[in-house]
Amino acid sequence: MDSRYDVIIIGAGVVGLGVGLEFARRFPGRRLLVLEKEARVATHQSGHNSGVIHSGVYYKPGSLKARLCVAGSAAMVNFCREHSIPHNICGKVIVATEQEETRRLEELRNRGEGNGLTGLRLIGPEQLHEIEPHARGVGALVVPSTGITDYALVCEKFAELISATGGTILTRAAATSIHRSSSEIVVETSRGAFSANFLINCAGLHSDRISRMAGDDPGIMIVPFRGEYYDLLPERASLVRALIYPVPDPRFPFLGVHFTRRISGKVDAGPNAVLALAREGYRHADINPRDVAACLGFPGFWRMASLHWRNALGEWHRSLSKSAFVHALQRLVPKVQDNDLVPGGSGVRAQALKPDGTLVDDFQFVPSARVLHVLNVPSPAATASLSIGKSIVDTATATLGLS
């Protein structure tokens, strides 16, 4: 195969493939290589998420997350429709279980409207009962534009379209070192060396390491937060019609355990957010000493721990004790019982952490000469992947000189 390309993308998750698809559409005939260390696309975050097409209600107006989620969710729905990928705009309810949370619901409604969402409605317990008969709360916010799909299928379609336009997706090809000169970038991989004019780092849980490999200082560390799910038994799936969420704690980037009806019809509960002891640590037993040492050696980790230790203990408690997990779910749907739930899957979020202990909230794309690093693309990045692709190709065109 060729060893010379115009652009190399590291990472065939939904973001790398979204960027690749936009590049292939905008620059037909240019040589594109997507490197993926695993045997398949979407092996990590993109194939282990909740499958929700977020509407954009949560994000700070004007932020990249808000803009790219709102544009991206419309683009994702159109993409699914155009390519016959199963999806359903089922809507969701965000449920206030205590009176104090109703003020936060109003703030969320205002925020959502600030982001251009329409149809948001604050409702009382009776209307909530009509929408979700088993949910209980003092009030709720209805978000009608939220939907569900299967992002692993979306990724497969992205990959198929990239290949159809002449792009190459090379799996089992882990980038192991990067050399830069004024005229080219050479990426050494487990399947040989490849050179290009431009490099885009979409390596998810490893994006900070790829940044360092390219000779840059990422300025953040990726911290892996595992999200664990339980599945509702099929005979109890009728407890949930669509999507039932709690009011999120504004101090954290995670949404709190919730109920999600998948596009397959299965209902799951979760995900929590537990610090994982390996970047690809899908189970408690997965421990990677290198990843643990990297965390412990990063000053921001200790600052984060001192700020959020109480919350972290709560997450660990819910992770180790099923009854604590069920208790959190019963706040939303009191009828859910311990024996209605069986352990489900898990996913690991790549969350960027600053040296001062702050969790990076917004998406972060950092250009550096002919390289662009995608350093923080947590949820709703799957929803926003098509508009992230556009935004990154715009940035690469404007700042890297890609044309």
Ligand X SMILES: Cc1cc2nc3c(=O)[nH]c(=O)nc-3n(C[C@H](O)[C@H](O)[C@H](O)COP(=O)(O)OP(=O)(O)OC[C@H]3O[C@@H](n4cnc5c(N)ncnc54)[C@H](O)[C@@H]3O)c2cc1C
Binding residues for ligand X, per CB under 6 A? 10-16, 35-38, 43-46, 48-52, 54, 174-175, 202-206, 210, 227, 271, 347-349, 377-383
Q: Which is nearer to ligand X, 50 or 97 (CB)?
A: 50
Q: Which is nearer to ligand X, 142 or 148 (CB)?
A: 148
Q: Are 53 and 385 in contact (CB under 8 A)?
A: no
Q: Measure Cα distances from 100 to 138, 267, 314, 356 in Å.
A: 10, 29, 21, 30
For ligand X, the nearest residue by Cβ is 13
**Least CB distance to ligand X at residue 84 (A):** 20
Q: Which is nearer to ligand X, 105 or 187 (CB)?
A: 187
d(CA 283, CA 276): 8
d(CA 60, CA 66): 6
Q: Which is nearer to ligand X, 33 or 123 (CB)?
A: 33
**Least CB distance to ligand X at residue 39 (A):** 10
**Least CB distance to ligand X at residue 145 (A):** 13
What one-character DSSP code corresponds to residue 171? -
Q: What is the dihedral of CA 119, 124, 125, 127, to 10 degrees?
A: -40
**Least CB distance to ligand X at residue 58 (A):** 11
Look-up: residue for tokens 């899908």?
282
Q: How many CA atoms lie within 13 A of 374 on its CB side?
A: 31
Q: Which amino acid is it at 316?
A: W
Q: Which is nearer to ligand X, 53 or 123 (CB)?
A: 53
B/e letters for 107-127, b = 16+ CB within 10 Å, e = fewer, are: ebbebbeebebeebebbeeee
d(CA 388, CA 391): 5
**Least CB distance to ligand X at residue 125 (A):** 27
The partner residues of 10 in beta bridges, in order of sequence, read 35, 201
**Least CB distance to ligand X at residue 178 (A):** 10
Q: Which is nearer to ligand X, 139 or 241 (CB)?
A: 241
Query: Helices in 261-298 by DSSP H: which ranges?
Result: 289-296
Q: Measure Cα distances from 316 to 7, 287, 312, 323 in Å.
A: 42, 15, 6, 13
**Least CB distance to ligand X at residue 48 (A):** 6
Structure tokens at 369: 């000469």
The partner residues of 350 in beta bridges, in order of sequence, read 224
Closest CA relative to residue 108, chosen from 260, 259, 278, 248: 248
**Least CB distance to ligand X at residue 171 (A):** 9
Q: Which is nearer to ligand X, 67 or 123 (CB)?
A: 67
Q: Which is nearer to ligand X, 137 or 380 (CB)?
A: 380
